[in-house]
Amino acid sequence: MKYMLLMQFSAAGTDFPSIDTWTPEEIQAHIGFMIETNGKLAADGELVQAEGLAGPQQARIVRAGAGGAPVVTEGPFAETKEFLAGWWIVDCETPERAVEIAAHISTAPGPGGRPLNMPIEVHPVMSAPPQEM
Amino acid sequence: MLSRRFGDFATAEDAVQEALLAAATQWPVDGLPDNPRGWLVQVAYRRMIELVRAEAARRDREDRAARREGDDRRTAPPADEALATDRDDTLVLLFLCCHPTLSTASAIALTLRAVGGLSTAEIARAFLVPEATMAQRISRAKQRIRASGLPFRMPDEEERQDRLATVLHVLYLIFTEGHTASLGADLRRVDLSEEAIRLTRAMHALLPDDSEVAGLLALMLLTDARAAARTGPSGELISLADQDRGRWDAAAIAEGTTLVTRAMARGPVGPYQLQAAIAALHDEAPTAAATDWPQILALYQVLERLSGNPVVSLNRAVATAMVHGPAAGLDALAALDADPRLAGHHRLDAARAHLYEMAGDRERAVTHYRAAAGGTTSLPEQRYLTMRAARLATLGAPS
């Protein structure tokens, strides 16, 4: 079963300063943790995909306007309250395992090397074979 | 052959792969050897010896070799055993690939790789995961088999039925996984249902007297016979009752029916034969209305006693409704609410929705179809259930 894990940052749900205020060592430790985590998931045969997203400054919200032409209705977001920072798709045996992976990612180190305990959303991906109805 | 001779499955597979690579590069240049199989075996054998020699810890190797050595290796085999050995090797390999110490996903991957002969890239595409991930999953599975020191030999008689059940379960999962592929844009080049049928057919040829192996093969054929009618032009699910029966595969139905009839006559009767018999009754009905529901209900009752699977109880409740009316079916479903294995399960909602629809209670049917749509993790199912709710809601709305 595949699960999508979303690293969703929100001003309300997090109690740590944004990464641009961290020391180089703190940033390095954070990146090292992510690389190690992805390496472990790959070695376990569970990693389908992992991507980080560019910052909210580069994001846009697009709707179709007259004749289907794209209309940018919002963004770039200079001071956004909530944004998606990255995601993983993992393929694992049980929902419990997906939760375990999410909890591990949540412990990524932040300022002072302390775990960020950031919220990770776990979504099952629609990948099961259908039953005959 | 090499696994048996050396008792080392992972290294043997590497050796065979290298021999095949050598063949792919040398045969087009030097021409096909007189005995291609003999050539491959000899090259793989030589490579195997090199690989084994290269292994560093000699004592460790000897230890493991001693543990892996089957009892039958301590005495010389009779000269006429060659065929039986080949036959047993495939079976032993299946038992090893579907060993209970492996996770289901690993067992499936290893079976397709080692017994089915699919490439890692093909298996990865079939399951929509990167090739590197699938390669790791297979290599992990091999390590696990190696670390557990499992001998490469047939399981003992008493262990064999349990182990066979695991093998059949893995083959069945490969088969159902194939149903995902037949829907929507088909990005997968390997048809997993076909592959599962091929493997089960091979297993049936090896164990022709095993009634459950025959039952599983029959179940696959009788289910696959409906594949072309199961989805509409845009990949949408079509319910059994609404399928165009003219598009069912008559040859597969005939073969499956013959297989399951013979197997049940021989016995012992098991869950796969019962499911195949139910599938055969659906397949033999010229119209949905002509379905022999009393017989299907009787088979579900036997299956329920035999398997204790709550999903079977759910299907039995639906069959009860078809025989005794929706109220009786809903009563049977109510009895299942207490089962924690089914609590909140979308299939319970889907069955309930279906029976409320039968009973003419549109409002409740819509509620349960929507709940089922919210609970499924299959996209075609979700679309089907959402559509079913929408149609009923439209019918129910005042115009």
- Segment B262-277, tens digit of pLDDT: 999 998 999 999 999 9
What does the pLDDT look like over A63-95, one tens digit per residue? 999 999 999 877 766 566 678 889 999 999 999
User: Would you call B133 and A46 a contact, using CB atoms and an 8 Å cutoff?
Assistant: yes
Task: Find the CB nearest A133 among B104, B137, B237.
Answer: B237
Asked if residue B274 lies in contact with residue B309, where contact means CB atoms within 8 angstroms, the answer is no
Among the ranges given (A84-88, B114-118, B179-183), the one the predictor scored with the smallest mean pLDDT: B179-183
Type of residue at A45: G
For CA atoms B12, B67, B109, A98, give the dihedral sign: negative
User: Would you call A48 and B377 a contact, using CB atoms and an 8 Å cutoff?
Assistant: no
User: Would you call B237 and A130 a contact, using CB atoms and an 8 Å cutoff?
Assistant: yes
Task: Find the CB nearest A132 among B134, B136, B240.
Answer: B240
Asked if residue A133 lies in contact with residue B380, where contact means CB atoms within 8 angstroms, the answer is no
Q: For residues B374 and B385, what is the distance between their CA atoms, to the nearest angstrom?
A: 9
User: Would you call A45 and B133 a contact, using CB atoms and an 8 Å cutoff?
Assistant: yes
Residue B120 clears pLDDT 70, i.e. is over it: yes
User: Would you call B377 and A1 a contact, using CB atoms and an 8 Å cutoff?
Assistant: yes
Residue B116 clears pLDDT 70, i.e. is over it: yes
Burial class (CB in 10 A: 0-12, 13-18, 19+), B335: exposed
User: How far away is chain B from the Cα of A96, in angstroms, using its nearest Cα?
Assistant: 14
A contacts of B245 (beta carbons < 8 Å): none
Residue B248 clears pLDDT 50, i.e. is over it: yes
Q: For residues B298 and B137, what is the distance between their CA atoms, to the nearest angstrom?
A: 42
What does the pLDDT look like over B195-218, one tens digit per residue? 999 999 999 999 999 999 999 999
Task: Find the CB nearest B136 among A42, A125, A133.
Answer: A42
pLDDT (average), residues B51-69: 55
User: Would you call A130 and B350 a contact, using CB atoms and an 8 Å cutoff?
Assistant: no
Q: For residues B248 and B16, what is the distance between their CA atoms, to the nearest angstrom?
A: 41
Tell me which residues of chain A have a C-beta less than 8 Å from any C-beta of chain B. Answer: 1, 42-49, 91, 93, 124-133
A contacts of B237 (beta carbons < 8 Å): 130, 133
User: Would you call B105 and A93 a contact, using CB atoms and an 8 Å cutoff?
Assistant: yes
User: How far away is chain B from the Cα of A69, in angstroms, using its nearest Cα?
Assistant: 27
Asked if residue B154 lies in contact with residue B88, where contact means CB atoms within 8 angstroms, the answer is yes
Residues 6+ apart with CB under 8 A from B271: B212, B215, B303, B306, B307
User: How far away is chain B from the Cα of A129, in angstroms, using its nearest Cα?
Assistant: 4
In the prediction, which pLDDT does B75 show?
A: 53
Asked if residue A1 lies in contact with residue A92, where contact means CB atoms within 8 angstroms, the answer is yes
The bridge status of strand A47-52 relative to strand A82-91 is antiparallel
List the single residue in A with minimal CA-CA distance to B350.
A133
In the prediction, which pLDDT does B373 show?
A: 94
Q: For chain B, give the percent of residues with pLDDT over 70.
A: 75
Q: Where are the alpha helices (DSSP H) in chain B?
A: 2-6, 9-30, 36-54, 58-68, 82-97, 104-110, 120-126, 131-147, 157-181, 192-206, 211-224, 227-230, 250-266, 271-284, 293-307, 310-324, 326-334, 346-359, 362-375, 379-396
User: Would you call A130 and B380 a contact, using CB atoms and an 8 Å cutoff?
Assistant: yes
List the single residue in A with minimal CA-CA distance to B173.
A129
Of B183, B130, B233, B106, nearest to A126 by C-alpha is: B183
Q: State the distance between the two ends of chain B, measured CA to CA, in whole angstroms.
A: 73
Q: For residues B127 and B138, what is the distance between their CA atoms, to the nearest angstrom?
A: 13
In the prediction, which pLDDT does B59 show?
A: 57
What does the pLDDT look like over A25-40, one tens digit per residue? 999 999 999 999 999 9
Mean pLDDT over all residues of chain B? Answer: 84
Residue B185 clears pLDDT 80, i.e. is over it: no
Q: For residues B204 and B212, what is the distance between their CA atoms, to the nearest angstrom?
A: 9
Q: For residues B358 and B295, what is the distance between their CA atoms, to the nearest angstrom?
A: 20
Among the ranges given (A43-52, A73-82, B95-104), the one the predictor scored with the smallest mean pLDDT: A73-82
A contacts of B378 (beta carbons < 8 Å): 126-131
User: Would you call A42 and B104 a contact, using CB atoms and an 8 Å cutoff?
Assistant: no
User: Would you call A125 and B178 a contact, using CB atoms and an 8 Å cutoff?
Assistant: no
DSSP at B208: T
pLDDT band at B399 (very low <50, low <70, confident <90, very high): very low
Angle at B294 between CA B291 and CA B296, to 5 degrees: 70
pLDDT band at B182 (very low <50, low <70, confident <90, very high): very low
pLDDT band at B348 (very low <50, low <70, confident <90, very high): very high
Residue B261 clears pLDDT 90, i.e. is over it: yes
Q: Which of B129, B144, B386 to mutate to test the interface with A (most CBs of A within 10 A)?
A: B129
Instruction: List C-alpha distances in Å: B22 to B11, B41, B116.
Output: 16, 12, 21
Residue B79 clears pLDDT 80, i.e. is over it: no
A contacts of B376 (beta carbons < 8 Å): 126, 128
Q: For residues B28 and B26, what is the distance between their CA atoms, to the nearest angstrom?
A: 6
User: How far away is chain B from the Cα of A121, in angstroms, using its nearest Cα?
Assistant: 17
Q: For chain A, give the percent of residues with pLDDT over 90.
A: 65
User: Would you call A129 and B177 a contact, using CB atoms and an 8 Å cutoff?
Assistant: yes
Among the ranges given (B68-72, B95-99, B134-138), the one the predictor scored with the smallest mean pLDDT: B68-72
Q: For residues A86 and A108, what is the distance between their CA atoms, to the nearest angstrom?
A: 13
Q: For residues B105 and A13, what is the distance between their CA atoms, to the nearest angstrom?
A: 35
Q: At what angle do helices B346-359 and B310-324 cross, to 10 degrees?
A: 0
Tokens of A39: 């390496």
Asked if residue B259 lies in contact with residue B218, where contact means CB atoms within 8 angstroms, the answer is yes
Phi then psi dihedrals of residue A94, to 5 deg: -135, 155
Total length of chain A: 133
User: How far away is chain A from the Cα of B147, in angstroms, using its nearest Cα?
Assistant: 16
For CA atoms B263, B268, B272, B278, give the dihedral sign: positive
In the prediction, which pLDDT does B43 show?
A: 65
pTM of the model: 0.80
Tokens of B302: 């036997």
Q: State the distance between the two ends of chain A, measured CA to CA, in whole angstroms.
A: 21
In the prediction, which pLDDT does A62 show?
A: 92
pLDDT band at B343 (very low <50, low <70, confident <90, very high): confident
Residue B250 clears pLDDT 50, i.e. is over it: yes
Residue B318 clears pLDDT 50, i.e. is over it: yes
B25 versus A104: which is more confidently predicted? A104
